[in-house]
Structure 1
Amino acid sequence: MALNFDKEQDYTLENDVVFIRPLQKEDHIHLLSISLNEPETWTYSSKSAAGEEALKAYITEALNNRARGEEYPFIVFDKKSGRYAGSTRFYDIQVKNDSLQLGYTWYGKDFRGTGLNKNCKFLLLELAFENLKAERVEFRADNRNERSIAAMKSIGCTVEGVLRSHTPLAGGGRRDSIILSILKDEWFGTVKQRLKNKLR
């Protein structure tokens, strides 16, 4: 059974904390403040959205990749503050292998450590495993990015290893990428309930 993914469908997700919808071209307006004022957000990223032109290019590339069925980008709205918090996406979508990656996740500094990320990840993992019927969801990060790695472990990811000198960084140099994952049986077995218990 192949991954039940439709690039044309508008996947929208929400709970009491967050609203997640497909990213659109016009969304650069909602994310511009973070892009202009918090360039450090992309320190460990292979693609930067720091600066208005970079943000527009970042969104355009993500939407082009969605059109090809390779990625599915989202924008994240924080209900508590009534503000747009950042962006995330499914990528490396492998229909025949029933797998995808969840990443390119970034939030403005006001939204880090608030519980927003756990709520986002819960809804996106629920979509991936229960609607799209994924067998595996993979995560990657710069092996130096302790905050991101801790966040992935806290939602129930298992570390699989490190790809050395894996990708170039937007600011120059290369990064070692740590690989983590959640499998379908793990999601239904323990990860879903444990993550649900951590939501606030």
Structure 2
Amino acid sequence: MSISQFPQNTILEDESILLRPLQETDVENLLEISLNEPETWEYSLVRANGKENLENYIKIALKAKENKTEFPFIVFDKKSGKYAGSTRFYDINLEFKTLQLGYTWYGKDFRGTGLNKRCKFLLLQFAFETLGMERVEFRADNNNQRSIAAMKSIGCTVEGVMRNHMPTLGSDVRRDSIILSILRNEWFDSAKENLKKKIE
């Protein structure tokens, strides 16, 4: 399956959450978080704080989708009836059967609620069981302890740190990037069941 064969209306959901393709009109759905919670993007390379930045963020995501290298989702929390944030597949390499999962952010009301684990379960299940990926990679700023802890809690293995890897936004400081991953056999051997138990 190629990214061009991703159904353009790919929807992933369980009883609590729904992930659907991000659209230009989702500016309105995410604006409250964008305007009121700028700390959400402290470690991001592309920020979505403020309406203009959010519009730009969504445009960049949709352009990458058009170029078939990324597939961005908006996350809807069924319990509260509110949009919670966004996440995406990126660096999709179908020849090598690898992709990255990231650009994930949620409003503060949705952090620590189990929503992230549910999202990751649906996304990993889709990556390994529908797309047939062999490896799903995750990256983060090595200082972003909250993000690293979240990735470890869903079953990721730390592979190492790329030192002085990339510039941080609006700064001369360069960041170290931590690399984590889940492999296909790990998903089926234990990660899937372990993650399922955490969200039940």
Normalising by the residue count of structure 2, what TM-score does the alignment of the two structures yield? 0.96
Report the 3-state secondary structure (helix = DSSP H, G, I; strand = E; otherwise coil) of the residue aligned with 2:118: helix
Report what 1:141 is aligned to: 140
Report the identity percentage. Answer: 64
Deviations 1:93-144 (A, max 9, x none): 0111100000000000000000000000000000000000000000000101
For residues 190 and 48 of structure 2, what CA distance do their matches in structure 1 show?
A: 35
User: Matched residues in 2 for 1:118 and 1:195: separation?
Assistant: 7
Contact 1:46–1:167, Cα closer than 8 Å, also in 2: no
The separation in 1 between residues aligned to 2:150 and 2:130, in whole angstroms, is 24
2:8, 2:134 → 1: CA distance? 20
Assess if the C-alpha contact under 8 Å between 2:8 and 2:21 holds in 1.
no
Structure number with greater CO (CA < 8 Å, separation at least 6) is 1
- Paired residue for 2:64? 65
Q: Which amino acid aligns with 1:82?
A: G
Aligned residues: 198
CA deviation profile, 1:153-174 (whole Å, cap 9, x unmatched): 0000000000112122224232
- Equivalent position amino acid for 1:127 in 2: F
| Residue 22 of structure 2 is aligned to residue 23 of structure 1 | yes
What does residue 131 of structure 1 align with? 130
Are 1:40 and 2:39 counterparts? yes
Structure 1 residue 195 and structure 2 residue 168: aligned?
no
Counterpart for residue 179 of structure 1: 179
- 1:9 alignment partner in structure 2: 8
CA–CA separation in structure 1 for the residues paired with 2:184 and 2:110: 29
Stretches (4+) displaced over 4 A: none
Mapped partners of 1:8, 1:16: distance in 2: 21
Q: CA deviation at 1:187?
A: 0.3
Q: Distance in 1 between matches of 2:167 and 2:17?
A: 32
Residue type of the alignment partner of 1:180: L
* Structure-2 residue corresponding to 1:103: 102
User: Equivalent residue of 1:194, what SS?
Assistant: helix
Tell me, in whole angstroms, the C-alpha distance in 2 between the residues paired with 1:191 and 1:132: 17
In structure 1, list runs of 5 or more residues that go unmatched: none
User: Amino acid of the residue matched to residue 196 of structure 1?
Assistant: K
CA contact (8 A) 2:117 2:154 kept: yes
Partners of 2:7 and 2:193 lie apart in 1 by 30
The structural deviation recorded for 1:7 is 4.5
Q: Deviation of residue 44 (structure 1)?
A: 0.7
What is the aligned partner in structure 2 of residue 55 from structure 1? Answer: 54
